[in-house]
A = this chain, B = another copy of it.
Amino acid sequence: MHDEKILKVLRSSPGEYVSSDELCKDAGISRAAIWKRMESLRAEGYEIEASPHLGYRLISSPDTLIPDEIKWKLKSRVFGSNILSYKKVDSTNDVAYSLAEKGMKEGTVILAEEQAAGKGRLGRKWSSPAKGGIYMSCILRPDIAPNEIPRITLFAAVAVAKAIREFSGLAPEIKWPNDILINGRKVVGILTEMKADQDAVNFVVVGIGVNVNTPSESLPRAATSLKEEFSRSGSVTDLSRIDLARKMLERLDIEYALLKKKGFSPIIEEWKALSNIIGSRVKVMTHSRTFEAQAHDIDQDGSLVVRRERGQMEKISSGDIIIME
């Protein structure tokens, strides 16, 4: 199994050799066990150099969503306090929902390398091929009423957009309510699910799917990946999913604390600054109607306010929009 003690010792001397003696002492293992453990780390994808005289040094870590790798240097209080990572699940949201029902604590994060039945909004699928994406679901237990759920949806969109901007230098834009686009193509989808009664939300699962290094041939036409957008600037290497996952958890943590402390208004302002739709002509599709209008504002409960043809304003609390050219 994954050997966090050895990794800790190797990481504590970045790029340098650690002698076998030191390893035995600091990781508390026998000299005879070292070789076997190094082999199992290599099998996990760690590149470790061995020298008969100098000892061992860590060259690189695999970009697998291993909890210990993400937790390494993770600066967050709530998000990622507990991380469960899977090779493949039907849906990280379903796993998280079921754990939340059993009482799993706020901040628990479910990760998967691949989803067999990734879920998108409005009953759609979320394309979730192995290698290349981050499929993450977070359990939250906010003290809100069920009609305040857009707060969670919008806060998550803001946090993830900012994390991507900080991580990649790219300029993500939010499309109401919570798609994240780069150069007009979708790179992140967010699906918020909850258990609630008439008075209060019991728990929320925020599912976030990010196309990081996902090859474009495994994505829908309207989607893109961070790698693809990043490569326009010349670079073509894979991006570190571990680093991005960590950055996302940290940003979610900061914005969630802000939401709790200062309420929803600052989130709306950030959302608007990151959004590409205010002022645009949009086609609005709710579950009962489709019409064109002008996107006017986001109001205090997270609804989209649109201006209809004759100047009347209308609030849209759930649905989908297409930005018209």
- Whether the Cβ atoms of B147 and A317 lie closer than 8 Å is yes
Smallest CB separation, A250 vs chain B (Å):
24
Cβ of A318 < 8 Å from any Cβ of B? yes
Q: Is the CB of A122 within 8 A of B196?
A: no
Question: Is A128's CB within 8 Å of the partner chain B?
Answer: no
Among B121, B195, B200, point to the contact of A199 (Cβ < 8 A): B121
- Please measure, in the bound complex, the distance between the C-alpha atom of A202 and the C-alpha atom of B178, giving whole angstroms: 19
Question: Does residue A194 face the partner (Cβ distance < 8 Å to B)?
Answer: yes
Contacts of A153 in B (CB 8 A): 198
**Complex Cα distance A121/B145, Å?**
13
Indicate with 1 or 0, residue by residue over A104-135, a CB within 8 angstroms of chain B CB atoms. Answer: 00000000000000000110000000000000
Q: Is the CB of B122 within 8 A of A200?
A: yes
CB distance from A77 to the nearest CB of B (A): 23
Q: Which residue in chain B gives the minimum CB-CB distance to A195?
A: B195
Task: Answer whether residue A62 sits at the interface, using C-beta atoms and an 8 A cutoff.
Answer: no
- List chain B residues, Cβ under 8 A from A143: 287
Residues from chain B with Cβ under 8 Å of A67 in the complex: none
Q: Is the CB of A121 within 8 A of B198?
A: yes
Please determine whether A287 and B150 come into contact, CB atoms closer than 8 angstroms. no
Give residues 271-310 of A contacting B (CB, 8 Å): 287, 301
Write the chain B residue with the least CB distance to A316: B145
- In the bound complex, how far is the Cα of B146 from the Cα of A166, in angstroms? 33
Kindly state whether residue A197 has any CB partner on chain B within 8 Å: yes
Check B145 against A200 for contact (C-beta < 8 Å).
Answer: no
Q: Which residues of A contact B (CB under 8 A)?
A: 121-122, 143, 145-147, 149-150, 153, 177-178, 191-200, 202, 287, 301, 317-319
- Can you name 7 A-B residue pairings with CB atoms under 8 Å? A121-B199, A146-B196, A146-B318, A193-B196, A193-B202, A198-B318, A199-B319
